[in-house]
A and B are shown apart, each in its own frame.
Chain A
């Protein structure tokens, strides 16, 4: 009897419900992805989906595995930042689809400071944060004072940033290729410090970025949940008019939210490009997927800063895994396909949670009615009410 009470309470907890819903999204997403692989080429579907899930486990050697695990982490770090950016804005009732553009200007600012101005890494990092924050604040300003929907303004700014950054970084690109000069040959001081992590992962790209991202996630959690500022911001998001009535400066809060959100995305870019892992291609004509995957990670993580660390890693894990599928059968974009399916399914999370809450309620009602019967039969009754809850 005692144990049963605990399980009911366990399922009723919002955190648990979110976790189960997210897991459901992942499983469904992978399953539909698997079906797509089956349709394209039944012969390699099992191996294909396993490649996506396994990622670096594809390699038999332990040493190589840990190296590629490190590289997945390197790319997951900026993703965590982008998902924090999206979730921070979302908690305040804003949909920051501009994380992609803020990420782009972050990359532009950090690389320009590093390659053209030969600044050390911390200045480059700050420049990236400032650039992202400015761009975010611009969307916030337009929303607060000109009533421009932030989704539309962010999308316009995304494309403007892309072309602007391409032009800016065109000044520091290699002569023979469309890529920016490498940090290690031009300005070593701009590389993020390794802090010994490169020894553990046997990979020089693993840097300070990884622990820093976790610290930032915890900070965002504290700001949102434990400070007055976070409370004010969330109150503004819940009801702008009520917040104003309660004496909060609602326009300032809107702009501040977008600035913080933008700063996070901009910082994410710096945490990738200052490792030297990637160079910016100044001819790219589509936005980097990082900002959009950030939306996926934020929702998959149940809009919790800590959850987004895990969901971001997962999204990056399968995105990197896509590189291992047999290219003669499938496109590497199968991972994009799966992660976008997962985002789509995240739209149903609310429904899943309602559904689960309904199930818990139905079970409690049943228990209240049928109390007094033996322990053994009650367990039976419990499992059958489970099914009934499913039908209701």
Chain B
């Protein structure tokens, strides 16, 4: 049972972080389908930070550096979306899809090159971080990690920024009616950049949380198994509102965790359900949930539409 709680919280943290990222981007008016790729690159940044951390670094410093590295990597990578979608008015879905493919491919190529450069016989795309990972845990031997605390802080921060600051309200104005926002002197391009970059940072952070969940090495060929997309579903289910997103993430996290730990429950293990069903569960649940919640969707009105100053 404790195991289920641990994994639920871990996956819920990932989903909350990434969905909040998507939330910032969409409130500014840019659809970020590329979260999956951003997660991979963020995970790569964090994993590299852990790998090259000199042994004996104090644990709080490791946590800080890994967090920063992941967020920064994700942010840099999200620039690809920002430039294409904001400056060049590219199709955001297409660019996002390309970023997902590119993220996994680039990370694989990079890690393999790094591994082979150190040892010619090593052609794997795996990074190990067994020792360093311990610094991220609150209680050794469990999966309770400091990222959960960070997630709560980010969640509160996101709520405050979006609803209680001038920046947040302006950001949301750009996603609802950019022409109106522009007419009162808000720089729509800059706001959209801010939205996408914040989503990059949060997506990257989500990536590192994901690859440290329950494992201490990651094969980058695997990507993040559709988690970026699950996060988008969480965001839609959460109606683009931070607190709702957190609740939705808990629900989805629970179903995702079940597929990891169901064999530990005698009741579930004895049922004649193939393991594939548990793997499918989070996706089936999200599809059903979306079927019943999309009708009264409160999506930002101008999302996905490139801002054109000439259109008033």
Contacts and interface: CB of A to CB of B under 8 A. Distances in A.
B157 interface: no
Interface residues of A, number: 49
26 contacts: A40-B117, A95-B93, A142-B287, A142-B290, A146-B290, A146-B291, A146-B295, A147-B297, A148-B294, A152-B229, A155-B226, A156-B284, A156-B287, A160-B287, A163-B279, A285-B222, A295-B97, A330-B112, A331-B113, A333-B108, A336-B108, A337-B105, A340-B105, A347-B94, A350-B89, A351-B90
B253 to A, nearest CB: 16
Given A164-B280, A350-B91, A331 B102 contact: no
A325 to B, nearest CB: 10
Interface in B222-243: 222-223, 225-226, 229, 232-233, 236
A5 to B, nearest CB: 31
Contact of A348 (B84, B101, B106, B286): B84
A156 B102 contact: no
B290 A163 contact: no
Interface in B137-162: none
Contacts of A351: 88-90
B81 to A, nearest CB: 9
Contacts of A51: none
B94 A151 contact: no
Interface in A339-374: 339-341, 343-344, 346-348, 350-351
Which 5 pairs of residues, A with B, have the shortest CB-CB distance? A347-B90, A340-B101, A344-B98, A331-B112, A336-B105
A41 B113 contact: yes
A271 to B, nearest CB: 23
Given A153-B287, A329-B116, A348-B84, A343 B90 contact: no
B219 to A, nearest CB: 11
A327 interface: yes
Given A331-B113, A333-B108, A347-B95, A147 B102 contact: no
B1 interface: no
B99 interface: yes
A152 B290 contact: yes
Given A285-B225, A344-B102, A347-B94, A40 B290 contact: no
Nearest to B296: A147
B79 interface: no
Please classify how large the interface on chain B is, using the bins under 10, 10 to 19, 20 to 34, 35 or more: 35 or more
B59 interface: no
Contact of A286 (B120, B225, B274): B225
Contacts, number: 148
A160 B287 CA distance: 10
Given A146-B294, A159-B225, A333-B221, 20 more contacts: A41-B117, A95-B94, A142-B290, A142-B291, A147-B295, A147-B297, A152-B229, A153-B287, A156-B287, A159-B279, A159-B280, A289-B101, A295-B97, A328-B123, A331-B125, A333-B108, A333-B109, A333-B112, A343-B102, A350-B91
Given A147-B295, A151-B33, A331-B123, A156 B89 contact: no
Most buried by B among A146, A155, A327, A328: A155
Contact of A343 (B98, B116, B280): B98
Contacts of A95: 93-94
A163 B229 CA distance: 17
Interface of B: 33, 80, 84, 88-91, 93-95, 97-102, 104-106, 108-109, 112-113, 116-117, 120, 123, 125, 221-223, 225-226, 229, 232-233, 236, 274, 276-277, 279-280, 283-284, 286-287, 290-292, 294-295, 297
Contacts of A343: 94, 97-98, 101-102
B95 A156 contact: no
A148 B290 contact: yes
A329 to B, nearest CB: 7
A29 to B, nearest CB: 10
Given A327-B123, A343-B94, A153 B113 contact: no
Contact of B97 (A36, A97, A149, A289): A97
A372 to B, nearest CB: 35
Interface string A158-169: 111001101100
Contacts of A339: 101
Contacts of A103: none
A100 to B, nearest CB: 11
B222 A286 contact: yes
Contacts of B95: 344, 347
Most buried by A among B99, B101, B222, B233: B101
Contacts of A159: 225-226, 279-280, 283
B112 A155 contact: no
Given A333-B108, A348-B90, A340 B233 contact: no
